Amino acid sequence: MKFRSFVPHSRVAVLLATYNGHEPASLSLGITLNTLVALIVTLARIAFTVPIPEGFGQLKWTHFLDRSPRPLADFEAVDKASRGPWGSFVILVKYKGVLATLGAVITISGLLTSTVTQQAIEYPLRRAPSDNGTASVGIATEFSMSNGTDLHLANSETTQLKQAIFNGAFAVSRSTLPSIAPTCSSADCEWPLYGSLAICSEVVNLTSSANETLLTQLREITAVSLGMLMNSTMSLLDHLQKMNNASLAAYGEIFPLTVLSHDAPTGALDESLIDLLAVDHFIAYTDQPFDVTKPLPPNLLDYFKFLEVAFYWCTKSYNTKVTDGIHVTDEVSSAARIIQPAPQLGLNFAWSPTWYECYTKNTCGSTIGGLKTRIAGPPGLPSLEGEDEGYDIDIWTATTSSALLGVSLYDSIFLDQQRGLVSSAGGGTAAAFASALYREFLATRLPEPGDQFAAVRNITTNMATSLTTFLRSLAYNGEPAPRVKLGTTYTPQTYVRIRWGWITLLAAQLFLTSLFLIAIVVETHVARVQVLKDSTLATMCALDGPTREQLGGLGDFKAVRERARVLDIGVERGGSGTVAWLTAGYRPVGAS
């Protein structure tokens, strides 16, 4: 018996296991994996023609040995089973022997081997890293436009800063402004956790703090601002009246709102944020409109409410992902902690002891040039990007930017009952906060206090996000492009996936073939029969003379077949005890 004929079966399993989970092989001559498997399976089917036929050939000798005589046609049927599926099918239907049935099942199942095995191979798509794509997202590891002696803050950059302020302030109402857009060449990219310098915001309800000293001071500052706005409004309306008969009386009751700067810390913010503040302003507003054509009530300012709005330097860590061309960035962690301060120098221009003087005298290069504040990185980053490294903020650049931000925030506004603009004086952001506190144009009902606070916080969050995007899109210190964090691009990749369940038939064939051959070997050994297998010569010599005479000659082979059906034969041992002979039994040969 030739057990080496099992090699093609094992090669199929090895081949499939080798390519499972990998890209389809690029074989020579355009040969595919399916073609290669089909070839090996074909070799496996050919291999069946060696052990199975030889097993059947030996079975016809051992099975008839020392048993009651059976028709000679059964002997021929077992012999035919060794020659192909049809003979095996006949054995399966008409013959009851266990080993013969097993061999027949193996032979017939071989017809399905190639088709079933091909089903084991499929080619799904998966996301695979690409070496050719581009995935980058801007980050800010420092903020400096100074070389220590000069400040290189170009007009384009100051314009971008103002745009960032207003993009955040006037984003779609109550929506969240997205983070900086990454570059992703494949529309499918991912980035590891990364950090960047950022701007954070905080909103505090000062009215609920019940700090009467602070509130009195804020009312006084607000009264001055409203008086100035009233004067400018009267001048404006006087001019408009000459053109279209406009008058302040026509507006009736109006809503006032101011955005002004604190001249000192209020104590409402966390102490750790004071030296990190870029600007610290407050919004003064009232839910009670007043008629400016009538004498103002003496307690008008008692109706005003105050919100502290602060923007401060911080660091944040992000997870960014692009799917189908749409980017999503999640903020994972943040930190606001100074690890290396600049002595007695803050980042808020309004509170800086030196900025005003050096700015007006153009001496900042010699007084604060080259000085930096280092702040801690966000937690959770790898060691090279974490708190030990820190992020530098140039004092000169930061305070100058703080002044631009503060001027843009400084504003006062009057709205009519339909939330239409009556007049304003300042940077223009008051209109954004007015939409949060009084609703949009043509609204007639005020929001609830909780909704007002949430809307203001949403605006400041969007402004901080927009300012952070500005920081992350700048090129610093003469660099040709912004600093970036590289990510991984993914592209759809076809790969080989093996469904091992479809290999069950092949494995079963291998197991059953082994079992079949072992059983034949054991039966041959136990029966002490010569290994004759499917030898034609042995078959020709096996029939004794009287039996051949009863069968007749080949002149009428049809009659020979009919006689074989009724001629019972048995396998008997020769004189040596091992040589098999076919001898006729006692059943008479019928005419039919």
Domain ranges of the chain: 3-123+496-584, 135-493
Average model confidence (pLDDT) for the chain? 81
Segment 413-418 shows an average pLDDT of 82
pLDDT band at 143 (very low <50, low <70, confident <90, very high): very high
CA distance 64 to 48: 24
pLDDT, tens digit (0-9, with 9 covering 90-100), for 121-133: 888 988 899 988 8
Assess whether pLDDT exceeds 80 at residue 191: yes
Name which residue leads in pLDDT, 66 or 513. Answer: 513
Helix (H, G, I), strand (E, B) or coil at 581: strand
The encoded tokens of residue 343 equal 């002595």
In eight-state DSSP terms, residue 38 is H
Task: Say if residues 559 and 552 touch (Cβ distance below 8 Å).
Answer: yes
Spell out the residues 6+ positions from residue 527 whose beta carbon is closer than 8 angstroms to its own: 62, 65, 66
Report d(CA 144, CA 123) in Å as an integer. Answer: 52
> Average pLDDT of 96-110?
79
Provide φ and ψ at 573, rounded to 5°: -80, 150
The mean-pLDDT minimum among 99-103, 220-224, 249-253, 379-383 falls in 249-253
* DSSP notation for 376-398: PPPTT--GGGSTTT-EEEEHHHH
Using CB atoms within 10 Å of the CB of residue 298, give its burial: 0 to 12 exposed, 13 to 18 middle, 19+ buried: exposed
pLDDT of residue 200: 98
Q: pLDDT digit string (tens) for 458-509?
A: 999 999 999 999 999 987 766 777 889 999 999 998 888 888 877 777 778 7
Q: Of 449 and 11, which is predicted with more confidence?
A: 449
| Cβ contacts of 299-304, under 8 Å, gap ≥ 24 | 301/219, 301/222, 301/223, 302/219, 304/218, 304/219, 304/222
Q: How far apart are CA 72 and CA 103, in angstroms?
A: 20
CA distance 494 to 127: 9
Write down the pLDDT at residue 557: 64
Distance CA 522, CA 525 (A): 5
Tell which wins on pLDDT, 44 or 217: 217
pLDDT at residue number 232: 75
Inform me whether the pLDDT recorded for 387 exceeds 50.
Answer: no
Regarding predicted confidence, which is higher, 94 or 540? Answer: 94
| CA-to-CA separations, 537 to 66, 144, 541, 568, in angstroms, rounded | 22, 100, 6, 21
pLDDT average, residue stretch 507-535: 77
Contact 404, 162 (CB under 8 A): yes
- What span, in angstroms and rounded, lies between the C-alpha atoms of 44 and 4? 11
Q: State how far the Cα of 355 lies from the Cα of 403, in Å rounded to an integer.
A: 10
Mean pLDDT, residues 63-74: 66
- pLDDT value at residue 589: 34
Does residue 317 contact residue 333 with C-beta atoms inside 8 Å? yes
What pLDDT sits at residue 556? 66
Q: Which two tokens stand for residue 158?
A: 């100051």
Q: Which residue has the higher pLDDT, 277 or 354?
A: 277
Phi, psi for 268 (deg, rounded to 5):
-85, -25
* Digit-coded pLDDT (tens) for 542-561: 666 676 666 666 666 677 77
Q: Which two tokens stand for residue 401?
A: 């930017």
Q: Are strands 488-494 and 290-291 parallel, antiparallel or unpaired?
A: unpaired
**Prediction pTM value:** 0.72
For 145, 377, 481, 490, 533, the CA distances from 484, given in Å and listed in that order, are 18, 16, 9, 18, 77
| Residue 123: both structure tokens together | 């080619």
Q: Which of 483, 473, 400, 470 is nearest to 199 (CA)?
A: 470
pLDDT greater than 60 at residue 101: yes
pLDDT at 376: 93
Run of H or E including 423? strand 421-426
- Taking residues 571-577, report their average pLDDT: 59
Mean pLDDT for the stretch of residues 394-401 = 93
Burial status of residue 30 (CB atoms within 10 A of its CB: 0-12, 13-18, 19 or more): exposed
pLDDT at 166: 93
**pLDDT value at position 107?**
80
Least reliable range by pLDDT among 299-313, 340-354, 478-492, 506-520: 506-520
- Please report where in the chains the tokens 């890209």 appear, as a residue: 23
Q: What is the pLDDT of residue 248?
A: 55
* DSSP letters for 316-331: EEEEEEEETTEEEEEE
For a pLDDT cut of 90, what percent of the chain falls above it? 34
pLDDT confidence tier of residue 586, bands split at 50, 70 and 90: very low
Mean pLDDT computed over 140-144: 92
DSSP 112: T
For the ranges 192-196, 204-208, 529-533, the lowest mean pLDDT is seen at 529-533
Is pLDDT at 526 greater than 80 in this prediction?
A: no
pLDDT tens digits for range 199-213:
999 999 999 988 899
Task: Find the length of the chain.
Answer: 592
The pLDDT > 70 percentage for the chain reads 78
